[in-house]
Chain A
Amino acid sequence: MTRRAFLQSSTAAGLGLMAGCNPAPSPGVIFKGWVYEPDLVRENLDYFERQTGIRVDYNAVSGNYHDKMVALHVGGAPMECCYVRDDDFAEWVEAGWLRPCDDLLDADPETSATTADLFSYNLSSMTYGGERYGLPYYTDFNIWIYNAPMLEAAGFDAPARTLDELTEQAVKVREARVRTPTGDLIEYPIMLNFRQSVLGFLDWWTLNYASEATLFDDDLNPTFPDDEDRRAETILQWLTDGIHRHRIISPSSLTAGQMRDHVASGRQVYGILNKYDLEYVNNRRNSAAADDELKRRGSDAQHAKVYRMAPVPSISAEQNGTLGWTRMYCLTSRCREDRMQDAWALMKFLGAKDAAGEYYTARRWFRLRGLGFAYRSLLDDPDIVAQTEEWGEIDKVREQSRHVRPRENIKAPWFPDFKIYYQPEIQKVLLGQQSARDGLGKIAQRCRQLIADWS
């Protein structure tokens, strides 16, 4: 190659690169989400495109969704619509990255009517400052699960209802030398998820809400450690005693991720799971516990109800509650005006009803992956009822869904700061490095400081 030819091709390549920095805008609706079954998402979108003729430019954002989306939003990447977690919702609204959709709902009575069908915790999670921003993608709540055959082997026909009863029962289960499907002794009957993570620590809220504890008042001031009957402190002390004194809670609770895999391996008698994971842990394809039980019965079925759901143990038996969360579709503030109606049509298809008036996407996600839904009426859908009965109990699901709460301070502007502070502090209590009261006191003090900083 001559020097002249080299210079010419280098210039051409450079110009091409510069042209690539400013590509033509996508002709379709730009839609981004985290990586969860992107092939199924694409199938849904293909169906939408066939129904409406609207093209969707879908991109599954790999890696840490929050961090990458922050970079995309800050960089002003073109985007009409995206997945949003309730954890990030207030932060993204405050940053001005999301667009309210009240005007679109007002102009669309059919979609607006679906609001009345939403569970209240979902609706609340998609509303900020009195404005509605999203339509639900999937949603669920945490449930208490127990291994029925193991409990039976230890001489119990029902799970404990209160925390004190649970301590007693778990000690007896351990002493009964119950074994896993691989023949190992169950050393710690209970495993919980107290690993530090941006989306973690939900078990802390679940246990508090099960005991109907209120951790924040209406102005989001912390009410602990002196909340009613000191419930938060009682629960934290129960957890600490469970790890160190009674040795019924696995210390790995502080480090283990993917709880459903631990449960599916049959090494746990009790735990807290997302409700939709009940299908996973009772499906022999994923679960040694289910497979072992079905082999013992000589059954060819796909699901075994080895793990069953129960009300989350609470301080007293009459208390009931759990934590729920919401994943939603939102319009971004950079949604192009000429794409607005198309983007809204996509939002409706994914988060409400399709052109045929069906909750198509929500039903399909449930059917294929057991994902929870935000619409009450679907709990009476015959297909959903029949499918739930294969691996769970619809009556218990209906009952528990009446007692679900979102995290009280999730929409505080300081929630992300709170999240990175309280998790290590709770862990320090669980490690025995500080008392439950001191730990909660420090968290409350930090909350008050954050409120002052952000006011």
Chain B
Amino acid sequence: MTRTRDFLPLLLNLPAVILLVAFIAYPIGISFWMSLHRYNLRRPDQVYFHGLENYATILASPEFWNALWISLYFTFMAVLLVIVIAMAIALLLHESFRGRGVVRALLLIPWAIPGVVNGLMWVGLLGDYGAFNAMLEDTVATVNYLFGINIVYTGMASPFVALNAAIGAHVWRSVPFACIIFLAAIQAIPTEQYRAARVDGATSWNRFRFITLPWLYHAVLVVAIFETMNGFRAFDLIYALTGGGPGDATHVIAWQTYKEAFARLDFGGANAYSYLITLITMTLAIIYIRLLYRRGLVQG
């Protein structure tokens, strides 16, 4: 009887365990195993184990390092902008004003747009006949006129514009989610603390700095980790918006992985790329957590 009772919980958990193993553990394991093989679909008869060769090849290739630096820049800018903009909007939406509910609902729209659609929308805005493109072109023309200089505006054909436009489009889509997290965190701050601070004569900046911000560190950590992963995985947007160009200006690491897998059909190399991305994002997440924990800003 006791034995049956001990066995029953295990049995009841078995379906969930089977699903987890089948859909999570097995793919992760097989993908790592494939990363240790020469496995190019163009030569299916030449699949063989070759240890860490794929990793060594990737680490020795200039394409990887270029993609890594671009991804780091992309991610750093994206995380920074998302945190700053989302926090500002969250603070604004925390205030009482007419139509706040509608604005909060509208805020979610960018988040609901799929990445590729977001990319195509920005292609429209930043393309030759796009509104943003026209604004930028006119701005450059005005600067040229005012300062008597001759900056040639080349739009998305400029590597600088293309990369930063991609970051802008990514941020636009990511802000709503971060904003919701910040808003939830702000609403959890006890109002007594603000009242006490007001009694003590604290300015609004000081109230933000010494009450709001410390209460938001946990949310900042969550957003930072989440956005770092998102930044490193940015692919669909790049695919639709820039196609990796001009030159290699927007060759982020996820784009490089896609090219390995589907342009070169090198599934061994592509899996190795994926593991390197995982390793990098995990390292960054650990750094974030360590930094904030060490400063005692986030409680366990």
Contact = CB atoms under 8 A, between A and B. Distances in A.
A70 B44 contact: no
A424 B265 contact: no
B244 A196 contact: yes
B42 A413 contact: yes
Interface in A273-311: none
B155 A95 contact: no
B290 interface: no
A8 interface: no
B154 A419 contact: no
Contacts of A423: 245
B126 to A, nearest CB: 9
B265 A196 contact: no
B41 A197 contact: no
Q: Is the interface of B mostly helix, strand, loop or mixed?
A: loop
B154 A251 contact: yes
Contact of B244 (A253, A417, A424): A424
Nearest to B155: A252
A254 B247 CA distance: 9
Contacts of B162: 255
Contacts of A195: 243, 245
B263 interface: yes
Given A70-B41, A94-B42, A416 B247 contact: no
Interface in B243-292: 243-248, 251, 259, 262-265
A91 B40 CA distance: 11
Contacts of A70: 41, 262, 265
Range class of the B interface residue count = 20 to 34
A74 interface: yes
A416 B155 contact: no
Interface residues of A, number: 32
Interface in A88-107: 91, 94-96
A411 to B, nearest CB: 12
A234 to B, nearest CB: 21
Given A94-B42, A424-B251, A198 B245 contact: no
A153 interface: no
B246 A431 contact: yes
Nearest to B256: A420
Contacts of A198: 263
A252 B157 contact: yes
A197 B244 CA distance: 9
Contacts of A417: 263-264
A197 B246 contact: no
B205 to A, nearest CB: 43
Interface string B232-251: 00000000001111111001
A153 to B, nearest CB: 22
A255 B259 contact: no
A66 B41 CA distance: 13
A67 B154 CA distance: 32
A96 B245 contact: no
A88 to B, nearest CB: 10
A207 B246 CA distance: 20
A249 B264 CA distance: 32
A251 B157 contact: yes
A432 B127 CA distance: 21
B156 interface: yes
Contacts of B251: 424
Given A94-B42, A94-B43, A433 B247 contact: yes
Contacts of A96: 44-45
A91 B42 contact: yes
A428 interface: yes
Contacts of A197: 243
Given A70-B41, A96-B44, A420 B263 contact: yes
A420 B245 CA distance: 11
A430 B156 CA distance: 14
A427 interface: yes
Given A96-B45, A255-B127, A255-B162, 5 more contacts: A195-B245, A196-B246, A416-B42, A416-B263, A424-B248
Closest 7 CB pairs of A and B: A251-B157, A251-B154, A428-B247, A196-B245, A254-B157, A255-B156, A424-B248
Interface of A: 64, 66-67, 70, 74, 91, 94-96, 195-198, 251-256, 262, 413, 416-417, 419-420, 423-424, 427-428, 430-431, 433
19 contacts: A70-B262, A91-B42, A95-B41, A95-B42, A95-B43, A196-B243, A251-B157, A251-B158, A252-B128, A252-B154, A253-B157, A254-B246, A255-B156, A255-B246, A416-B265, A420-B263, A424-B245, A424-B251, A431-B159
